[in-house]
Amino acid sequence: MRKSIRGGWSAGILLLTLILVSRTLLGSSSHWSELYDQGVTFLEEGNPQSAALWFSRANALRPHEPRILLGLATAYFESGRGRLAQQAIEELIALQDVDFPLLMATGRLLARYGRTQQAIQVFTLAQRRAPPTVEGEKSTLYFKRLLAVLYEQSKETERAIENLQALVQSQTNNADNYYRLTLMLAKMGRFSQAAEIAQSAFEKFPRSPQIVLAYALASYFSGHNDKAEDAYHQIIQLEPNSDQPYFALGNFYEDLNRLSDAAEAFEIAVSKDPRNYLNHYMYGVALFRLGRLREAHKALSDALRLNPYHADSYYWLGRIDARQGKNTDALRNFKIAIKLQPNHNSAYYQLGLLYARMGDKKDSQKMFQIQRQLNMKAHEGIVAERMP
């Protein structure tokens, strides 16, 4: 999934499948399962680009494994590669042996990313494959309500697209309508149509930063990274004194796992607007992933001076402390992150690891249990995350 120009990582999207696709389900260890484990670990750490790489390696050794395909789809969605996510989902639901929990996780993933029609298809299939323990009046009513919500969302989305298409045709000089239509089509997985609208708008409004951004996003979603990169640089030329184009470029490089380029872009964003805590935050995360821990610590500390209530900055400071063996500091930062954001799954996971490293088995298990419960709650909702 893409981040907005001003936004950081979306807090509610990480670890969508960790419960239903738990490592404990894998049975005895094998080479493919070890690769899968690495993918899950990177998802837990908020690094879907690397997760996708490890899931792909696992998939090469064990093709048509539903758990791997769901991991791939999750990683691709989280890193904005919806076209590849769609391919993994289509391969998954074509299999005959996908069990009920995996189908439910797949349906929720699709609903979260706005793929309502396909989510309806998957939930309908899940209802047919539901085990006896979830059948009966309660289950029937649950699916009835679930599908009713999705059908309504689907109708609303189609109406919104139709309205925007009408506005584009009637208000030909309104760039905002082109922008909104491009993003909505991309969110729905209609990438070729989004790219077509974006190309038309780009030719009509070549000096509109908003339209160039839509063109960059549509190019990226449709697999044309070179065009996307050129467009991001064009936005910088249009708004050379703004931090936002550099922030967007940093997000783009982060999605491509070009971490050095991402760090450089975020550093420039910081220099353009040092008052924006998100610039410091994303710069710090990129530096952490590059292993530049001292610089990352400073950047994240700067973010917290500007916004002392930013849970994710405390979380990444905790990651730095844990990596440096500063267990007490790590515990404090993870706990602050949870106090500020009680449903911070990743912080509970890291606390579980940290307590285990310190020999505190009881608290370690407690943290992992809370994380599992939070994941289960996250699976219950159907909230489509919005792109910019």
What digits encode the pLDDT tens for the residues 148-198? Answer: 888 888 888 888 889 989 998 999 899 999 999 998 888 777 888 888 999
What is the maximum span of the chain, computed from C-alpha positions, in angstroms? 67
Closest alpha carbon to 297 in 380, 305, 269, 144: 305
Burial class (CB within 10 angstroms; exposed 0-12, middle 13-18, buried 19+) of 328: exposed
User: Residues 331-344: what's their mean pLDDT?
Assistant: 94
Q: State how far the Cα of 15 lies from the Cα of 372, in Å rounded to an integer.
A: 10
Q: State how far the Cα of 122 lies from the Cα of 382, in Å rounded to an integer.
A: 14
Say if CB 5 and CB 388 are below 8 A apart: yes
User: Residues 258-272: what's their mean pLDDT?
Assistant: 97
CB within 8 A of 290, min separation 6: which ones? 259, 260, 263
User: Residues 325-345: what's their mean pLDDT?
Assistant: 94
Whether 27 shows a pLDDT value over 60: the answer reads no
- Grade residue 10 by pLDDT with cuts at 50, 70 and 90: very low
- Grade residue 118 by pLDDT with cuts at 50, 70 and 90: confident
User: Residues 109-130: what's their mean pLDDT?
Assistant: 86
Residue 333 confidence (pLDDT): 97
Residue 269 confidence (pLDDT): 97
Closest alpha carbon to 83 in 157, 186, 162: 186
Same fold, 23-150 and 308-388: yes
Q: Give me 373's structure tokens.
A: 């419960």
- Between the alpha carbon of residue 84 and those of residues 69, 100, 157, 248, the distances in Å are 11, 23, 22, 21
Residue 363 confidence (pLDDT): 93
- Grade residue 226 by pLDDT with cuts at 50, 70 and 90: very high
Whether 8 shows a pLDDT value over 60: the answer reads no
Whether 29 shows a pLDDT value over 80: the answer reads no
Q: What is the CATH number of domain 23-150?
A: 1.25.40.10
Residue 380 confidence (pLDDT): 42
The mean-pLDDT minimum among 41-45, 143-147, 236-240 falls in 41-45
Whether 385 shows a pLDDT value over 50: the answer reads no
Residue 377 confidence (pLDDT): 55
Q: State how far the Cα of 67 lies from the Cα of 95, in Å rounded to an integer.
A: 12
Look at 236 and 141; give whichever has higher pLDDT: 236
The mean-pLDDT minimum among 100-104, 264-268, 294-298 falls in 100-104
Q: Which helix (H) or strand (E) holds 119?
A: helix 116-128
Q: Quote the DSSP letter at residue 207.
A: T
User: Residues 340-349: what's their mean pLDDT?
Assistant: 88
Best-predicted range by mean pLDDT (9-13, 132-136, 188-192): 188-192
Residue 44 confidence (pLDDT): 73
Q: State how far the Cα of 68 lies from the Cα of 290, in Å rounded to an integer.
A: 27
Closest alpha carbon to 215 in 337, 229, 274: 229
Residue 112 confidence (pLDDT): 82
Whether 15 shows a pLDDT value over 60: the answer reads no
Domain boundaries, the chain: 23-150, 308-388
Residue 101 confidence (pLDDT): 86
Helix (H, G, I), strand (E, B) or coil at 87: helix
Residue 13 confidence (pLDDT): 34
- Grade residue 18 by pLDDT with cuts at 50, 70 and 90: very low
Closest alpha carbon to 382 in 128, 105, 183, 3: 105
- Grade residue 135 by pLDDT with cuts at 50, 70 and 90: low
Residue 7 confidence (pLDDT): 38
The mean-pLDDT minimum among 136-140, 213-217, 317-321 falls in 136-140
- Grade residue 133 by pLDDT with cuts at 50, 70 and 90: low
Q: State how far the Cα of 178 lies from the Cα of 120, in Å rounded to an integer.
A: 28
CATH level 2 (architecture), domain 308-388: Alpha Horseshoe (1.25)
Closest alpha carbon to 270 in 251, 292, 242, 294: 242
The torsion angle over the Cα atoms of residues 175, 178, 182 and 185, rounded to 10 degrees, is 150
- Grade residue 306 by pLDDT with cuts at 50, 70 and 90: very high
pLDDT > 90 fraction of the chain, expressed in percent and rounded: 48
pLDDT > 70 fraction of the chain, expressed in percent and rounded: 87
Whether 2 shows a pLDDT value over 50: the answer reads no
Whether 3 shows a pLDDT value over 60: the answer reads no
